[in-house]
Structure 1
């Protein structure tokens, strides 16, 4: 399986291996994600629910897509903001951060600025009203203790209003 993943990643650039930002290269805490937007949509809905397509139950598939749209579009919104941050050329590293052991915690976007010891952490929400500042504050404390102890951290919410 490893050889296939390597080819998909290096030769075809269809998947990417993701580690938490500032994690060491050899860490086992990694995820694979589909990099192509069309294929990500395809595998999330058409491949997963191919049995509905086989029996022409398109209405059920449409309902599944409709009900999951907010989650799927939120993920796409994260990609949008990451790309915007990359294009700004203000950062030397951009990624996500998570820990799976103990008390799970995940931060949507972490950006390390090119100069000084500054970082930004961002929670991405489709609507600003769904943002819980106290939850991001807790996550900020966790990431500060784990990897950003020497950084000045700015935390914020990014939503469709910031597009």
Structure 2
């Protein structure tokens, strides 16, 4: 539908009366589903976020998978194994190999155009443009102080599920072809904690967005890629600036380091007179963050039930 109405060469370009973009369910809905099924824990919420991105179809898979979803979903009969192919191949057509290579590079941490091109040894400008504008699979990220025409751009996969699929399934396609699912489960057991720690940031960003407390949310890094801040959330109406370091464990948070980074941020951003709050968001205080940034009408947090996977 996007191509029919938005593609420059299509006869129906901009002739749509209304264009609805169906969004995945936010973190608040995932929390409610987990609580309703006596499965709630902070660790499991992060796991479900990585494996579903809030897409109901994948949440149904997770509910049916039980206490240990990797044992159930990483096998020959699982729909998860081929889901990335089924979702993307038809849209990508003959160029699928190039698109998949670029998405795999981004999923594995090559997030700037220069790094992607060096990694793949090919130009990717038109591919990145199509993946963002036509397919809505990747998004540009600029430092929160940067102008819209800034070339300081990083790319990310919009859907956490595709991030997981490219990182663990597509990257081990040889093992998939040999149906060596024990190997893939071993890789997940070894790397998922590190992988999910990085995805925890996207979970908190989604949580802040659904709270509707801020009009600008992004990250910060300087032109050398240093002094990086995970999340910067701004409410210009209330003159409020929230600076967040994301950690899996709160004990690893070093307030003095965040304070130094915040000083660099304040030199770049026009927020004179704003109240600045510096925080650490972690799995340890996830319930507190949920309670503080719940959308209106959300159910209050209840005592945790069940155990972490």
TM-score (normalizing by structure 2): 0.48
| Structure 1 portions without partners, runs of 5+ | none
Verify the 8 A CA contact 2:244 2:280 in the aligned structure 1. yes
| Equivalent residue, structure 2, for 1:44 | 167
| Superposition deviation, residue 71 in structure 1 | 2.3
| Equivalent residue, structure 2, for 1:53 | 176
**Distance in 2 (alpha carbons) for counterparts of 1:148 and 1:141:** 13
| Superposition deviation, residue 87 in structure 1 | 1.6
Greater shift, 4-13 or 150-159, is seen at 4-13
Q: Structure 1 residue 72 and structure 2 residue 195: aligned?
A: yes
| Structure 2 portions without partners, runs of 5+ | 1-123, 288-309
**Distance in 1 (alpha carbons) for counterparts of 2:281 and 2:215:** 20
Residue 232 of structure 2 aligns to a residue in which SS?
A: strand
Number of residue equivalences: 162
Verify the 8 A CA contact 1:90 1:114 in the aligned structure 2. no
Greater relative contact order (CA < 8 Å, ≥ 6 in sequence): 2
1:110 to 232, 240, 243: 232
| Superposition deviation, residue 52 in structure 1 | 3.5
Residue 185 of structure 2 aligns to a residue in which SS?
A: helix
Verify the 8 A CA contact 2:239 2:271 in the aligned structure 1. no
Q: Deviations over 1:16-64 (max 9, x none)?
A: 1111113111211111111112211111122223233344444443232
| Superposition deviation, residue 148 in structure 1 | 4.9
Runs of 4+ with deviation above 6 angstroms = none
1:97 to 214, 220, 223: 220
Q: Structure 1 residue 83 and structure 2 residue 221: aligned?
A: no
User: Larger radius of gyration, structure 1 or 2?
Assistant: 2
**Distance in 2 (alpha carbons) for counterparts of 1:37 and 1:13:** 13
Report which of the two has the higher share of helix.
2
Q: Structure 1 residue 34 and structure 2 residue 157: aligned?
A: yes
Report which of the two has the higher share of strand.
1
Q: Structure 1 residue 162 and structure 2 residue 289: aligned?
A: no
TM-score (normalizing by structure 1): 0.87
